[in-house]
Structure 1
Amino acid sequence: MSGAHRPPGGAGGSDPGGLDDPGDLGDDLEVALRVADIADAITLARFDDRDFSLDWKANATEVTEVDRASERAIVEALVARRPRHAVFGEEHGDAGEAGSRWRWLVDPIDGTSGYVRGIPVWATLIGLTRDDVAVLGVISAPALGTRWWGGVGLGAHVRRRGTTRSIAVSEVADVAEAQVSVTHSPGWDALGRTERLVELQQRARRSRGFGDFWQHALVAEGALDVAVDAVGVAPYDLAAVQPVVEAAGGRFSDRRGEATHLHDTAVSSNGLLHDEVIDLLS
C-alpha cells in the first residue's frame, strides 16, 4: 500500500524489555514507511499477475524470486538511508555496518506459502532493533490494503483504504469473553502443549486461526484479544510485530512470558489476559 505518510504523534505504549529511551524514532519510521512503499510496488504487482517462480529452502518452506528481489530492494534502500545501521534479511543475511547497536530485520514476504497460492494474507515486515530490543515496526500488507506501524514514543497506527487512525488493544479481561487466534504447528506437539492450545480455544468465546503477522496486528487493533503463534518463528518474523503490539498498549512475549522477538514462540495479547495465557501454555 503506497503513499503511507508519517503519522501524527500519539501516546506511546510500554517501553519494550525495559529499554531506556531510544530517542526520537520519527525519522526512522519515515524511512521504514518509504522502504515499505518500495517493497509493495514489487510484491503486489507480481502477486496480482501470478508472475513468479517457486523454489524450496532447506527447511522445506517456500521461497520465490519475489522474496529475493524485494529483499534486495529493501536492503539497498535501508543501507543507503541508514549506512551506519546493520541490516539482516531472511533470504540474503547480513548487510550494512556490522556491529552496529542499531539493526533492521526484514522479512520480505511473511506468509509466502499463502502468497504462492493466491491467498492475500501476506506482508512485508520491517523492524528496527537497538541492542537486540525491538523498538519500531512496519507491517505492510498491500493485498489487504492495510499497513500497521508503531514504536517507542510513536504510538500505534493503521492505514486502511486511505484513512489513518491510531489503534489500541481491547479491554476484555476474561478469557471466556475473548476472541483468540491460535496457530498450531508440530512444534507444539513436540513441546507437549497441544492440549493446552485446545484448552485455550475451548475457554475462549471464539477461536480462529489467522496466522502469521495478521493475528498480532489484529490484537494491536483490538479486534482480537490473544494471538498464539506457531513454534519455530524467527526474529525477522517478530521484530516488526512486537513494537506495534506494545505501542498499542498490549503485551508481546515468548511462551514463557519473556518480552522478546528473539525466541521461537510468540504470544501477543491486550495485556489483561497475558499472564493467564502464559500460565496455561508454559
Structure 2
Amino acid sequence: MSGDHLPQGLEGDLALALSVADAADRFTLPHFEARDFAVDWKTNATEVTEIDHGAESLVVDLLTTERPDHGVFGEEHGLAGDADSEWRWMIDPIDGTSGFVRGIPVWATLIALTNRGLPVLGVVSAPALGFRWWGGVGLGAHLAARGVNRTLTVSTVADMAEAQVSITHNAGWDDLGLTDRLVSLQQRARRSRGMGDFWQHMLVAEGAMDVAVDAVGVAPYDLAAIKPIVEAAGGRFTDRLGEATHEHDTAISTNGLLHDEVVAILAP
C-alpha cells in the first residue's frame, strides 16, 4: 500500500484500543496473580487457558459494539464482525501464554487495527510488567510505565559489534538449517539476550535493544500490533528474508541501521 492510501485520523481508534486494553488488563492480571485457571493444550502443542478465551471474548465484544462496521479476528475464536470490511482488528488475548501459566510476567494483550491488510495501529499491554506500548500511522510510538509516559525512538547503533540483540531460538530455526546463523549473529554482537515474544520488539522500539529475531512459527496475530509500533519509532520490521510483512512465520525488528546486515547474516 502506498503512502497516499494510508488512513489518517486514527486517534479515535487509538483511544478505543487503549480503553479496550484497560478492560483486558482488569480481567487478565487478577487471574495471573491468583493462579486460578486450568491449562489445556492446542493441536500445535502450545498452552491455552480459559483466561485466553475470556480475554478474547471481552475484547471482541467491546470492539464489535463500538465498531460494528469493522471485522475482528482473534487467535482463539477466529473472525467476528463485518467480514467484508477493509478495517479489521487483530487480537492476541495473551501473547506469551507459556509464561503466563508459569508465573512469568512477560505476557501481553495485543490489539492491532489493519486497513486492507496493513497494520496501521498497535497496542501492546503487559500489565504484569507494568508497561504499555502503542503507536501507528500518524500517531508516533509511545510507552507508559509506572505513571510515566514517553515517546519512543529506536537506537542509533550502526555497528553490529556495539549492538544489543535478542534472539529467540526454537526448533523451527533448526528445521531451516539456520541455527548456526543465529549463533553467528550473537557472536558478532556486543551482547545477546533472549527476551522473547512481544517484549524483544518493544525493546527495539524503545531503543534499549538494537535487533530482535523472533522464533520461527509466529502468526499474524502475534505480529500485527508490533509492526506499526516499531515502524512509528523509526525502526524496521520484516520477515527473515527482508519482506515488510506481519503475515509470514518469521519476524525481525531492528533500529533500521542494522537491518540489512541482520537479514544477510540469516540468509539461507
Q: 1:61 aligns with which of 22, 46, 58?
A: 46
Q: Give 1:257 deviation, angstroms.
A: 0.5
* CA distance in structure 1 between the partners assigned to 2:58 and 2:46 by the alignment: 22
* CA distance in structure 1 between the partners assigned to 2:193 and 2:2 by the alignment: 29
* CA distance in structure 2 between the partners assigned to 1:66 and 1:46 by the alignment: 7
Opposite residue 210 of structure 1, the aligned amino acid is M
Given the alignment of the two structures, is residue 178 of structure 1 paired with residue 163 of structure 2, yes or no?
Answer: yes
Q: Give 1:30 deviation, angstroms.
A: 0.4
Contact 1:19 1:133 in 2 (8 A): no
Q: 1:78 aligns with which of 63, 72, 76?
A: 63
Q: Give 1:20 deviation, angstroms.
A: 2.5
Map of 2:240 onto structure 1: 255
Alignment of 1:1-282 (within 5 A): 20-282=5-267
Contact 1:17 1:260 in 2 (8 A): no
* CA distance in structure 1 between the partners assigned to 2:153 and 2:159 by the alignment: 18
* CA distance in structure 2 between the partners assigned to 1:229 and 1:180 by the alignment: 11
Gaps of 5+ in 2: none
Q: Give 1:166 deviation, angstroms.
A: 0.4
Deviations along 1:108-138, one digit per CA (max 9) or x if unpaired, are 0000000000000000000111111111000
Deviations along 1:182-219, one digit per CA (max 9) or x if unpaired, are 00011111111110000000000000000000000000
Opposite residue 26 of structure 1, the aligned amino acid is E
Q: Which runs of 4+ in 1 moved over 3 A?
A: 16-19
* CA distance in structure 2 between the partners assigned to 1:117 and 1:145 by the alignment: 18
Q: Give 1:23 deviation, angstroms.
A: 1.4
Q: How many pairs are equivalent? A: 267
Opposite residue 109 of structure 2, the aligned amino acid is T
Which secondary structure state, in structure 2, belongs to the residue aligned with residue 59 of structure 1?
Answer: coil
Which secondary structure state, in structure 2, belongs to the residue aligned with residue 224 of structure 1?
Answer: coil
Which secondary structure state, in structure 1, belongs to the residue aligned with residue 216 of structure 2?
Answer: coil
Q: Give 1:53 deviation, angstroms.
A: 1.1
* CA distance in structure 2 between the partners assigned to 1:187 and 1:216 by the alignment: 19
Contact 1:180 1:204 in 2 (8 A): yes
* CA distance in structure 2 between the partners assigned to 1:131 and 1:263 by the alignment: 17
Map of 1:9 onto structure 2: none
Larger RCO: 1 or 2 (CA < 8 Å, sep 6+): 1
Q: Give 1:19 deviation, angstroms.
A: 6.6
* CA distance in structure 1 between the partners assigned to 2:264 and 2:97 by the alignment: 32
Please provide the CA RMSD for this pair: 1.0
Q: Give 1:222 deviation, angstroms.
A: 0.1
The percent identity for this pair of structures is: 69
* CA distance in structure 2 between the partners assigned to 1:218 and 1:144 by the alignment: 13
Distance 1:17 1:110, change over 3 A: farther
Provide the TM-score with structure 1 as the length reference: 0.93
Provide the TM-score with structure 2 as the length reference: 0.98
Gaps of 5+ in 1: 1-15
Deviations along 1:65-114, one digit per CA (max 9) or x if unpaired, are 00000000000000011111100000000001011111100000000000
